[in-house]
A and B are shown apart, each in its own frame.
Chain A
Amino acid sequence: MTFFEEIRQAFKGIYSLLVGLNITGKALVTKVETVHYPRQTVDNIDTYHGHIELIPTDTTPHFTKCIACGTCAHNCPAQCITVTKAELPPEIGEDGKPQKPKKAKYPELFKLDYNHCSLCGQCVENCPVSALRFSTDVYLAGFSREDFEYDLLARAKQNIEDKE
């Protein structure tokens, strides 16, 4: 690099430093973006990805679109989802004897152990009936590990009741 080129570069550098100072100087006088959390909360948390939840629907008696196929539990790398199919009452067959009970197409139990969940979203992506979504539960706190083992079916039911 020639002598004059170096001097030109130096002036360019000083100019860029001044540009930087200008940017932070403007940031100094703008209004703060954050809120004082315990006393104020943000109003829009729609984009927050919390733990998964079942999308509540009006279909009684199980309130969700879940067909209890177990794909989510199968795909979960942390194995934190437990799904159990509900059992239908045994039908009386043609021979008059009660037959082997059939499995229903809805869950009896849908549990999430949030302690082990890494929020990878494999369950949400792989659900064949799109029954899962991320909740917007920001303000989670608990005193024991058991507090974070959720019964998602009860939660969906609660969601519907809250809506009513």
Chain B
Amino acid sequence: MIPTIPMEMLRIIIFTVAIILFVSVNALLLVWLERKLAGHFQVRPGPFEVGPHGLLQTVCDGLKLMGKQLVAPAGADKRLFWAAPILAFAPAFLCFLPIPFGPHLLGMDFETGVILILAFTSLGVLATILAGWGSNNKFSLLGASRAVSQAVAYEVPLLITVLGVVMYSGSLDFTSIIGQQGSWPWQWNVMLQPLGFLIFFVCSLAECNRAPFDLPEAESELTAGFHTEYSGMGFGLFFFAEYTNMVITSSMCTALFLGGWHGPFFSGWWWFASKVYFLIFVMMWMRWTFPRVRFDQLLNLSWKWLIPLALINLFYVAVLVKL
């Protein structure tokens, strides 16, 4: 007799398959959106030839990347070199597990979902370091060393602002954090902690290596930074990971500060999705507006401004909780 499959496991398997599907389609769509927006920000149409309004352009690009030969440089540490793109991509799936997209639409109800996401998003930096070290390339190594100091600098204020929200709601569980926020914008955490929201958003930009904080790849200085030596899907996985990380940090921002699935009139996953994609749109908007910061500016911003401000925010939240 076949033993019955536990419901919880079935749920996780279905969710994982759904997430793989979502992540792939989402990455294709976001790359298209990024290029389209880049075009329109520069008063030109962007991709237009393949499919209606260039919608199938990224599908073709993906096929091209898959068809390419995977080349590792002669002096590279092969094991580290190929472990890096997988390590960049794999934790992204895990991070989707505790995020509640709707009242009942979540993979697994973790008591400590916030910690899980924070722990696994920091694995992305490890992948960057491995890629930079394993490539045996000056540009890659420079990109990786930048990534390390950037990650160290920006994870501190990020954690402090998250701590502010966690202190206020008294829970590490996304479902209950969202549950405590109401339907209308003035009932969201962003109204109570606007400073925390801003710091979190800036830090999530830096954590995703998005412009204006894209120093680890910095095309104009380091050719492509840590992924200079990657060809084909090796590069493709890094690219996928970048866009998936954007969704994860935006989802976190939505859950912690913008009331998650709550919204005026009809609460549901559509509110969650529209908030996430609005944040991603703002990220793209910033990318095509602001020039890349210099490295000392990047570190000054974090250590001299964001961390003190995050501590002030934490103190303010502590007073708020006490009242």
Partner-B contacts on A (CB < 8 A): 10, 17, 20-21, 23-25, 27-28, 30-34, 36
**A27-B41, A27-B43, A30-B43 known; 14 other A-B pairs, CB under 8 Å?**
A10-B305, A17-B289, A21-B286, A21-B289, A23-B289, A24-B41, A24-B285, A24-B289, A27-B40, A28-B37, A28-B40, A28-B285, A32-B39, A32-B44
B-chain residues with CB within 8 Å of residue A30 when the two chains form the complex: 43
Interface pairs (21), CB distance under 8 Å: A20-B289, A20-B290, A21-B286, A23-B289, A24-B285, A24-B288, A24-B289, A25-B285, A27-B40, A27-B41, A27-B42, A27-B43, A28-B41, A31-B43, A32-B39, A32-B40, A33-B43, A33-B44, A34-B45, A36-B45, A36-B48
B-chain residues with CB within 8 Å of residue A25 when the two chains form the complex: 285
A94 to chain B, nearest CB (A): 73
Q: Output the residue of B40, B48, B288, B290 with the most chain A CB within 10 A.
A: B40
The CA-CA distance from A25 to B43 in the complex, in Å, is 11
B-chain residues with CB within 8 Å of residue A36 when the two chains form the complex: 45, 48
B132 to chain A, nearest CB (A): 30
Closest A residue to B304 by beta carbon equals: A6
How many A-B pairs with Cβ below 8 Å?
Answer: 36
The CA-CA distance from A55 to B267 in the complex, in Å, is 72
CB pair B43–A21 under 8 Å, yes or no, is no
Q: Output the residue of A17, A21, A28 with the most chain B CB within 10 A.
A: A28
B-chain residues with CB within 8 Å of residue A32 when the two chains form the complex: 39-40, 43-45
Q: Output the residue of A23, A27, A31 with the most chain B CB within 10 A.
A: A27
Q: Output the residue of B48, B285, B289, B290 with the most chain A CB within 10 A.
A: B289
The CA-CA distance from A28 to B288 in the complex, in Å, is 11
The CA-CA distance from A21 to B286 in the complex, in Å, is 7
A15 to chain B, nearest CB (A): 14
Residues 242 to 295 of chain B near chain A (Cβ within 8 Å) = 285-286, 288-290
B322 to chain A, nearest CB (A): 27
A29 to chain B, nearest CB (A): 8
A-chain residues with CB within 8 Å of residue B48 when the two chains form the complex: 36
The CA-CA distance from A24 to B37 in the complex, in Å, is 11
Q: Output the residue of A21, A30, A36 with the most chain B CB within 10 A.
A: A21
Mark B43-57 against chain A: 1 for CB-CB distance below 8 A, else 0.
Answer: 111001000000000
The CA-CA distance from A77 to B224 in the complex, in Å, is 38
Closest B residue to A19 by beta carbon equals: B289
B-chain residues with CB within 8 Å of residue A17 when the two chains form the complex: 289-290
Closest B residue to A29 by beta carbon equals: B40
The CA-CA distance from A28 to B36 in the complex, in Å, is 10
